[in-house]
Structure 1
Amino acid sequence: MSVTQPLSSTPSFSPLRLQRRSLVRQAGAVVLGTLFLALSSYVEVPMVPVPMTMQTLAVTLVGALYGWRLGAITIAAWLIQGAIGLPVLSGGAAGAHHFVGPTAGYLFAFPVAGALVGWLAERGWNGKRVVLAFVSMLAGNLVCLAVGGAWLAIMIGAEAAFMSGVAPFLVGAVLKSALGAAALKALAR
């Protein structure tokens, strides 16, 4: 084995190849990822008690492109930014009170969903296998809906939580998963 060859011949799961980059570049990726997540928060359809945003698309894409560790770190960094008062949450919202309100379950599910999608991407469920990428992204969306819906059920009851916090988002979850898988396919080229 020559000195110029990488130690591992395992192909990269992501076109970004962040797992092979320096810590400085990975930190830069975290900053860019939190910016992407914040921008996705501004694309919203106001609904009560939970608005529809592009956050789950961004969360699943960050997970798929960054991997489970760096993806979860990036998503957690974004949530910390929102908790300390930066206007990065849905529609530019900010503040720790969002982490105990009706949307708290969804917010806490985001790092889990991103980590799940990243973990699956690292195992080949990525843009090279678009159907698996779609299933992975859909699983991430469903984690968000399940955890978010469960938290909301504690606040307003199970039936009301399902009707206002899960059911209206199911079609969007499928569409965002398809869009995310298509984006991964395009990036894999």
Structure 2
Amino acid sequence: MSETTAKTVTYSPLALESRPLVWQIAAVIAGTLVLTLSSYISVPMYPVPVTMQTYAILMVAALYGWRLGALTVLAWLGQAALGMPVLAGGSGGLPAFAGPTAGYIFSWPLITAFVGWLAERGWNGRRPVLAFAAMVAAGTFCLAMGTAWLAGFIGVDKAIEVGFLPFIPGDVLKAALGAATLMLLSRKAKGGNA
């Protein structure tokens, strides 16, 4: 079974799937810390702030792979559910999972698994255009899911106006930054192996 898994994974920059369990646990802890720090880089907007969370989520996905990446995001959201101040603006607690931004939050494990799965199969720094496309698709899904949830609070038209359209340029920029970061890491890894 592990032989089959190894054949399907074409690229894993950190090779976490082959590292000891203690390394994987440390990676999850480090990932939740990075995700938390990204939450504090914020531009206040109402009702949804612009943060670097999406960029960090996409990077965890692409660098950790779909399984460990999704586990990391779920661990981080578990911290939030327990009330730890790990989300945008230092928020946390169960109200975050029922408020206007919950749709975005619920999309994060899904987009992590999606981007991580594609990254393992070549949509990564070795093919930055594909990495960019995967990240734009993930960002669009996140925005759509968040907007659908937000519509229950403020109506469909207003949700699209304040919860979807203003975030498209930022998500495209985050996807471009993510693809560029992966490309640089891929080149550095290739140069280190030469």
Shared topology, TM-score over 0.5? yes
Give 1:5-154 correspondences, 5 Å limit: 8=6, 12-154=10-152
> Which one-letter code corresponds to 2:56 in the other structure?
A
**Cα deviations by residue, 1:99-137 (Å, 9 ceiling, x for unpaired):** 000010000101101111001101100000010010011
Aligned-residue sequence identity (percent) comes to 58
Shift of 1:14: 2.3
Q: Which structure 1 segments of 5+ residues have no match?
A: 1-6
> Conserved in 1, the CA contact under 8 Å of 2:10 and 2:121?
no
| TM-score, normalised by the number of residues in structure 1 | 0.93
Q: Distance in 1 between matches of 2:159 and 2:8?
A: 44
Q: Which structure 2 segments of 5+ residues have no match?
A: 188-194
Q: What is the number of equivalent residue pairs in this alignment?
A: 183
> Which one-letter code corresponds to 2:101 in the other structure?
T
> Conserved in 2, the CA contact under 8 Å of 1:14 and 1:126?
no
| TM-score, normalised by the number of residues in structure 2 | 0.91
Deviates more, 1:166-175 or 1:85-94: 85-94
User: Where does structure 1 differ by over 4 angstroms across 4 or more consecutive aligned residues?
Assistant: 7-12
Q: CA RMSD in A?
A: 1.4
Q: Distance in 2 between matches of 1:64 and 1:50?
A: 25
Shift of 1:142: 1.0
Q: Distance in 2 between matches of 1:170 and 1:28?
A: 33
> Conserved in 2, the CA contact under 8 Å of 1:60 and 1:114?
yes
Structure 1 residues 16 and 143 mapped into 2: Cα distance closer, same or farther (>3 Å)? same
> Which one-letter code corresponds to 1:87 in the other structure?
P
Q: Distance in 2 between matches of 1:91 and 1:47?
A: 11
